[in-house]
């Protein structure tokens, strides 16, 4: 599969979705490194699909962040955002429920507070397509590899390392961290996580340039 721009990807996806009867929910995995634009793209895709008459919703992987108190007890607070700092089985259980239940209440991640808010969004019976958005959805390592069975199609966002680096620095500057704190977050955690996603994710159905 060659790399696609957003408009081309939307056209291909919509053409495929026109063939789907939506007797059961359709799940799209939207994966990519930190700062690759997943949240922005998922929101745009969600809006565009709704405009095309498809009842769509978003499930954030980030809603399954372990709370800082758990990370502290596990000595993982400095690694927040790494694969081991998420409740993967909690995410899997929500996907099971979304597959079988009409209405499911899901958590979201509040970036202004840097924590998850449980039971924050209702995915209703009318929502027939779920965009599952997150860094590690296609990761080959266990237990992340248990998620792939739920996805009807998958998208990996392609973004070069230098662009990711600049975006990550800008992100942490917006929280008024010191240069030392920013360097620790970006070079000891975020960029290694980004490289992990790029090197160790399963092949996606589509690659989206960002």
> What averages of pLDDT result for each successive group of 10 residues across the chain (210 residues)?
90 92 94 96 97 96 96 96 98 98 96 88 97 98 98 97 96 92 96 97 96
d(CA 75, CA 81): 13
Structure tokens at 109: 């991640």
Check: CB of residue 25 under 8 Å from CB of residue 130: yes
First to last CA, the chain: 16
What is the CB neighbour count within 10 angstroms for residue 180?
8
pLDDT score, position 123 = 97
Instruction: Say what the pLDDT of residue 157 is.
Output: 98
- pLDDT recorded at residue 47: 98
- The C-alpha angle with vertex 58 and arms to 120 and 167, in degrees rounded to 5, equals 100
With tokens 């290694």, the residue in question is 192
Q: What are phi and psi of 139, to 5 degrees?
A: -65, 140
User: Which pLDDT does position 178 carry in this prediction?
Assistant: 95
User: Cα 121–122–124 angle (5° rounding)?
Assistant: 150
pLDDT of residue 48: 97
CATH T-level topology, domain 3-209: Rossmann fold (3.40.50)
Q: How far apart are the C-alpha atoms of 105 and 121, rounded to whole Å?
A: 6
In this prediction, residue 1 carries a pLDDT of 63
> In the block, which residue shows the tokens 């230098």?
162
Query: What is the C-alpha separation between 205 and 2, in angstroms, rounded?
Result: 10
């Amino acid at each position: 599969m060659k790399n696609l721009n957003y408009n081309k990807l939307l056209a291909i996806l919509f053409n495929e979705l026109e063939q789907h009867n939506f007797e059961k929910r359709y799940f799209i995995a939207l994966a990519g490194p930190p700062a690759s634009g997943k949240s922005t793209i998922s929101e745009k895709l969600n809006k565009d699909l709704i405009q095309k008459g498809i009842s769509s919703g978003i499930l954030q992987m980030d809603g399954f962040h372990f709370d800082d108190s758990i990370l502290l007890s596990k000595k993982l607070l400095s690694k927040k955002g790494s694969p081991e700092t998420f409740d993967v089985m909690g995410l899997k259980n929500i996907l099971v429920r979304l597959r079988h239940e009409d209405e499911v209440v899901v958590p979201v991640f509040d970036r202004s507070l840097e924590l998850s808010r449980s039971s924050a969004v209702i995915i209703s019976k009318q929502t027939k397509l779920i965009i599952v958005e997150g860094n590690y959805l296609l990761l080959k390592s266990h237990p992340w590899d248990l998620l792939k069975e739920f996805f009807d199609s998958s998208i990996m966002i392609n973004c070069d390392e230098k662009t990711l680096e600049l975006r990550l620095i800008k992100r942490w500057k917006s929280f008024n961290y010191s240069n030392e704190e920013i360097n620790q977050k970006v070079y000891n955690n975020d960029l290694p996580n980004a490289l992990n996603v790029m090197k160790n994710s399963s092949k996606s159905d589509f690659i989206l340039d960002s």
